[in-house]
């Protein structure tokens, strides 16, 4: 699906772009000699510049030389997306809904829908993991996890 050459070139260009962004950020500061020696932008300017340079060189080399074979097949891409997208949704929901409710929904979805496990195993995972996390982290190790409206309603906060 995606040829290696395109991916290699693209990634190197992204790295070069990041280098340019760092360079631009550094230019907002003193990039030369300040009151206390080299200014705040001195180091980032050079790091960013070097990264932009090496990234571009790498992109050119990959565009000319990297293999054209497929790097990522359709099946693999689907598997990765099926794992990553729900995880990203879980991550995005955590600050709003707390850790526990999204965790249960995420585990149920991953086990039942993505993993095609039976209802029994899926529900067991989704219903047992959040309380286990609560006992482990909040009660035993005293590290608070994210809380949302549900925890507030239950008075757990």
Binding mask 17-56 for other proteins (x = CB under 8 A): -xx-xx--xx--xx--xx-xxxxxxxxx--xx-xx--xx-
72 is a contact residue toward other proteins (CB under 8 A): yes
Three-class secondary structure of residue 5 per DSSP:
helix
Closest CA to 20 of 41, 42, 50: 50
- Distance between CA atoms of residues 14 and 17, nearest Å: 5
> Buried b vs exposed e over 11-40: b needs ≥16 C-beta within 10 Å?
ebbebbeebeebbeebeeebbeeeeeeebe
Residue ranges that bind other proteins, judged by CB under 8 A: 7-8, 11-12, 15, 18-19, 21-22, 25-26, 29-30, 33-34, 36-44, 47-48, 50-51, 54-55, 57-58, 61, 71-72, 75-76, 79-80, 83-84, 86-88, 90-92, 94-95, 99, 103, 106-107, 110-111, 114-117, 121, 125, 129, 133, 137, 141, 143-146
């Amino acid at each position: 699906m995606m040829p290696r050459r395109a991916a290699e070139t693209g990634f190197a260009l992204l790295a070069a772009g990041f280098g340019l962004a760092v360079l631009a950020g550094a230019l907002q500061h003193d990039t030369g000699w300040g009151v206390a020696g080299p200014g705040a932008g001195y180091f980032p300017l050079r790091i960013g510049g070097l990264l932009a340079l090496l990234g571009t060189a790498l992109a050119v080399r990959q565009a000319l030389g990297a293999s054209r074979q497929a790097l990522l097949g359709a099946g693999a891409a689907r598997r990765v997306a099926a794992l990553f997208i729900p995880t990203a949704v879980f991550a995005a929901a955590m600050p709003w809904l707390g850790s526990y409710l999204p965790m249960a929904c995420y585990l149920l979805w991953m086990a039942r829908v993505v993993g095609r496990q039976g209802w029994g195993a899926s529900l067991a995972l989704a219903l047992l993991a959040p309380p286990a996390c609560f006992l482990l982290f909040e009660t035993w190790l005293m590290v608070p996890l994210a809380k949302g409206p549900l925890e507030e309603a239950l008075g757990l906060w």
